[in-house]
Homo-oligomer: A and B are copies of this chain.
Amino acid sequence: MLGAIEAGGTKFVAAIGRGHDDIVAQVQIPTTTPDETLQRTIDWFRANGDIAGLGLASFGPVDLDPASPEWGYITNTPKAGWGQTSVAARLGDALGCPVGLDTDVNAAAIGEHLYGAAQGCDVAIYVTIGTGIGGGAVINGNTVKGSRHPEMGHILPRRHPQDIDFAGICPAHGDCLEGLASGPAIKARWGASLSELAPDHVAHDIIADYLAQLCQTQIALYSPQRIILGGGVMQTAGLLDKIREQATKRVGSYFGVDAGAIITPPGLGTRSGIAGAFELAKRAVNGKK
């Protein structure tokens, strides 16, 4: 049996099974303090029998460097209590198994690449637009890590002409993409989620514009065959089509891709991250950290 965890800032999803398509037990644990959250996770796994390996798809910033003494630590997060906290090694030690680690969005990109909407793609990007905005990428079968890991939500889109007064809510950058287009940024500006605003409310055009700019930037820098858009905000009816339309207009024929065709919803629904975490578990069992 393998264990898989999608560790988010709001909740931990943990699963046991032989793979993403053969899950025997699954649980959600709210993210409170590290001690409480990790102990509840460990207890749940122990109550469900031994696992040979664990895959951890983690919120960030997280140290992914296998050579670092802080491998698997959440690092400088603003999330209360979680700064400089060991997660991966602590779970692995408690459960007595190797741990495969990546970011939540890199893991989701792995899941989509293997089993979802990005099968066969040399270059695939997964983006979540939810409480935050993050992106992960699989290139030639491996995720992009680099000096830490991508933080794709923190690019600077050009301001929409009907959205010039709002300062943005990113503590680090103000009006970066996450500061303008994440779920909380939408609430801060218009007092409701995008789904709750009337279909002709200008918010739909504004948010689609910013997310189309993200797609254009990703196309320019990565030339992806797939950009997969997931997360709570993408549940908004009509948003995906608006983004496709605006991205197609922006991208034109220049980059040699049909933006409308490569931008898709997750093939695995909300299970991309857990599917990737199972793959990380398999790799851990096979000796890859």
Residues of A within 8 A of B (CB): 61, 75-76, 121-123, 135, 137, 139-140, 142, 144-156, 158-159, 172-173, 213, 216-225, 252-257, 262
Min Cβ gap A263→B in Å is: 12
18 further A-B pairs in the complex, CB-CB below 8 A; given A147-B256, A156-B217: A121-B146, A122-B145, A122-B146, A137-B221, A139-B139, A146-B222, A147-B255, A147-B257, A148-B256, A150-B221, A151-B254, A152-B221, A154-B220, A154-B255, A155-B217, A155-B220, A158-B158, A217-B221
* Pairs A–B under 8 Å by Cβ, sample size 9: A135-B221, A147-B255, A148-B223, A150-B220, A150-B223, A151-B219, A153-B220, A155-B217, A156-B216
Contact at B152–A256, with CB atoms within 8 Å? no
Residue on B nearest A253 in the bound complex, by CB? B76
Task: List chain B residues, Cβ under 8 A from A254.
Answer: 151, 154, 172-173
Interchain CB contact (< 8 A) of A155 among B140, B149, B221: B221
Residue on B nearest A122 in the bound complex, by CB: B146
Question: Which of B122, B123, B135, B156 is in CB contact (< 8 Å) with A158?
Answer: B156
* A40-B37 Cα distance, complex, nearest whole Å: 69
Name the residue in A75, A213, A255, A262 with the highest tally of chain B Cβ atoms < 10 Å from its Cβ.
Answer: A255
A213 to B176, CA, bound (A): 12
What residue of chain B has the Cβ atom nearest to residue A175's Cβ? B158
CA distance A173 to B218 in the complex (A): 16
A103 → B minimal CB distance (Å): 10
Cα separation A276 to B150 with both chains bound (whole Å): 26
- In angstroms, Cα B218 to Cα A154, docked, is 11
Report the separation of the CA atoms of residues A151 and B217 in the bound assembly, to the nearest whole angstrom.
Answer: 10
Q: Pick the contact of A148 from B158, B173, B257 — CB < 8 Å?
A: B257
Shortest Cβ distance from residue A74 to the other chain B in the assembled complex, whole angstroms = 12
Q: Are A152 and B262 in contact (CB under 8 A)?
A: no
